[in-house]
Chains A and B, each alone.
Chain A
């Protein structure tokens, strides 16, 4: 391990600290850069940052140890994180990681002796339609295969800077397979804002109300209601936040909107800002989408030049608004709006106690609107075409269209836009699903659908969704899919409340036990009990939904568990033969005498 002299570390981070100023809100952004410089957050840097910001050292350490892309111990100069999302796994991600590690004589989770390389896994990187995917020093790699990994191995050995790597490795396609009213109708930048100014704020709110628009993040709260609650909350300042922390495994629609429809998103934010009276907005961009930052910044710069952002927008004297990008650093929980606000404030992404809700006390305690990327894009459209036009699309309670991120066992994964009310069966037919057996709707936190339910309709009245549709064909081991989900939740639980912190672990261990052929009937009862506790008593949505995959599998595919059970009332978790593994490793033996009969 390299050692750094205190003065040297301080010297190195001094310009960065000056650039960010003394506001502790910037802590996460500062730590991201420190990680980039040293490949970890050195203890001396933690002390220096704490001194600079005037906060306790534990506050800085707390943040540095919370986000999975930051680390308190050195990682490799090249850090490659393979996506462990179930679709990436189905595309061979685990085998590829093994191949790569063997090729470079490396163990996953460890750093090579020359500190050059470390390899590990990470939660879904939002590339389910073009996996297996990974991140190298934060930048997205897609369509990995052995050939590409051979190339990457050479690039690493030659110490070629990631910026010089062939661009084909980083190619991310939009994969828009079906456009509707949102994707098929490009907006002339500024038109929605002009239309809002023409209508005036009150009339604009009426249009939004008429549209019946509901939040696209999954919960489906009425946008008009949320906005007016925020409007009516007293506060000195107001903020609007675009939630681009698209972390639900299997979803990638926001990636496409941010890449190719950023103007729509900006206009939605700007309209929201005008209505609630915000001068500042934030785009909370998940760390996995680092590669999009530059492009989004270019859009923001272009809009500033065009008078669509900044001071006196479109010449209106009292209309100042600008957008700042904040990057996440690997934490699914930050998709929860109050955790996102904590993260924006440079803290651990711990969901707040509610009430108060962000609309009344959000960022820095001020009224704050947090809206999904897709919701904001819809807003811009509604203002241009009118609320009635929007509400004429879709169903009675679910107006407009929905972007679906479709991946898994189908011939054409990608983005599909449908009016609400489409049946799952139609969607499966369109994307070329191969003999579908089960579909996970809305990712692990959503619902597992069996083929009996394929006639169900995608809309808030029946099957609400944030947009992820992950398809599993007949023959797929659904139990291992659920196992993957339980590992995901155990990894992403923030650790604040007892039921989620411990429950997600217990659930993971019990499902592992069943997968490893040590399960008994009583384990299923235990899983039900734990699920009940997590659903009822957890602090936030993560814990409330973390048992959904296990429960759905029990309810809809009971045979899957039954087949794997030993059939006994009780089967110990402890495996005597497996416990001898350490002894076998030490002695280098694996003969029959080194195993139990």
Chain B
């Protein structure tokens, strides 16, 4: 697409980035090939702004790049030592509030949470683990739902609602008790119209939604993030031929 008039610019880490009205800082950055770490954001969907990993500093105020509209003259700091240190704490928080046991997880190597931790050189979760208790839902013939690994990014909620037109998922509870909820009286995935061909079945950045009978098809060591870092992978997703 030929940009009509990209006369407006913001700067990110000193680099001039053009934008058009309506674009967020994230949109403008990604379009210009500048990576901002993100987990709950996916350019396919309306910005959500919950994981806070894309927090950048704009004129010394912290905002989420995925939700903040770009405005002429914004001076944005993104890839700084301070911000990356803060982002690492956020990833550590996500690790301890759930049960993320990477070495034993089927999603290891394909997990964006793990990849974000690699990206930020996180060596340990540091905080005391919460060890919440969840039941694994294997009621669906083709898909496992394992909330131990859910980071509440709501990508599956959005995909099922906006793309699949099914609203299979929602959010219930409050605070630390917030949970991904399934749209059936039993609360089980098997009692919904969810299908393995739904886009929501393939959007989970971690291993909370796993396709059955696919386990370890690709051996660990040959998986996405075993060879590339999260910035390369997420930038590749934006390329037109990847649609």
Contact = CB atoms under 8 A, between A and B. Distances in A.
Interface string A97-127: 0000000000000000000000000000000
- What does DSSP make chain A's interface, helix, strand, loop or mixed? helix
A497 interface: yes
Contacts of A492: 175
A509 B128 contact: yes
A498 B50 contact: yes
A408 to B, nearest CB: 27
A260 interface: no
B236 to A, nearest CB: 25
A66 B89 contact: no
B170 A58 contact: yes
Interface stretch (B176-184, B202-210, B225-233): B176-184
A66 B174 CA distance: 5
Interface string B105-132: 0000000000000000000000110100
A57 B50 contact: no
Contacts of B62: 536-537
A61 interface: yes
Interface in A479-525: 490-499, 501-506, 509
Interface in B79-97: 86, 89-90, 93-94, 96-97
Nearest to A572: B128
A62 B55 contact: no
Given A498-B90, A539-B49, A355 B69 contact: yes
A494 B175 contact: yes
B171 A353 contact: no
B167 interface: yes
Given A490-B176, A505-B176, A533-B90, A61 B170 contact: yes
Contacts of A502: 93-94, 96-97, 176
A506 B49 contact: no
Contacts of A530: 89
A31 to B, nearest CB: 13
B170 A506 contact: no
A502 B127 CA distance: 10
B181 A58 contact: yes
Interface string B46-57: 010111110100
A33 to B, nearest CB: 20
Interface string A295-321: 000000000000000000000000000
- Interface size range on A against B: 35 or more
A425 interface: no
Interface residues of B, number: 39
B46 to A, nearest CB: 10
A496 B172 contact: no
Nearest to B173: A65
A539 B185 contact: no
A526 B89 CA distance: 11
A62 B174 CA distance: 9
B141 to A, nearest CB: 21
B19 interface: no
B144 interface: no
A491 B161 CA distance: 29
B187 to A, nearest CB: 9
B89 A61 contact: no
Contact of B177 (A47, A62, A495, A526): A495
Contacts of B47: 353
B90 A59 contact: no
Interface in B33-67: 47, 49-53, 55, 62, 64, 67
A503 B93 contact: yes
Interface in A527-581: 529-530, 532-533, 536-539, 573
Nearest to A544: B62
Interface in A316-366: 331, 348, 353, 355
Contact of A498 (B94, B127, B174): B94
B169 interface: yes
Interface string A234-270: 0000000000000000000000000000000000000
Given A59-B170, A509-B128, A47 B67 contact: no
A496 B177 CA distance: 11
Given A57-B183, A537-B90, A498 B172 contact: no
B39 to A, nearest CB: 9
A22 interface: no
A56 interface: yes
A533 B86 contact: yes
Interface in A389-427: none
A62 B171 contact: yes
Contacts of A537: 52, 55, 62, 86, 90
B49 A536 contact: no
B175 A529 contact: no
Given A490-B176, A506-B93, A533-B86, A58 B183 contact: yes
A92 interface: no
A180 interface: no
Nearest to B93: A502
A536 B62 CA distance: 6
A65 B50 CA distance: 19
A495 B178 contact: yes
Nearest to A72: B172
Contacts of A506: 93, 96, 127-128
A502 B64 CA distance: 18
A495 B173 contact: yes
A353 B178 contact: no
Nearest to A492: B175
A336 to B, nearest CB: 14
B173 A499 contact: no
A495 B170 contact: no
A186 interface: no
A339 to B, nearest CB: 12
A429 to B, nearest CB: 40
Contacts of A504: 175-176
27 contacts: A43-B185, A57-B185, A58-B170, A59-B167, A61-B172, A62-B170, A353-B64, A490-B176, A491-B175, A494-B175, A494-B178, A495-B173, A495-B174, A495-B175, A495-B178, A496-B50, A498-B50, A501-B97, A501-B152, A502-B97, A502-B176, A503-B93, A505-B176, A506-B127, A533-B89, A536-B55, A537-B52
Interface of A: 43-44, 46-47, 56-59, 61-62, 64-68, 331, 348, 353, 355, 490-499, 501-506, 509, 526, 529-530, 532-533, 536-539, 573
A-B interface, 3 closest residue pairs, ranked by CB to CB distance from nearest: A58-B170, A495-B178, A502-B93
Interface of B: 47, 49-53, 55, 62, 64, 67, 69, 86, 89-90, 93-94, 96-97, 127-128, 130, 152, 161, 167, 169-178, 181-185
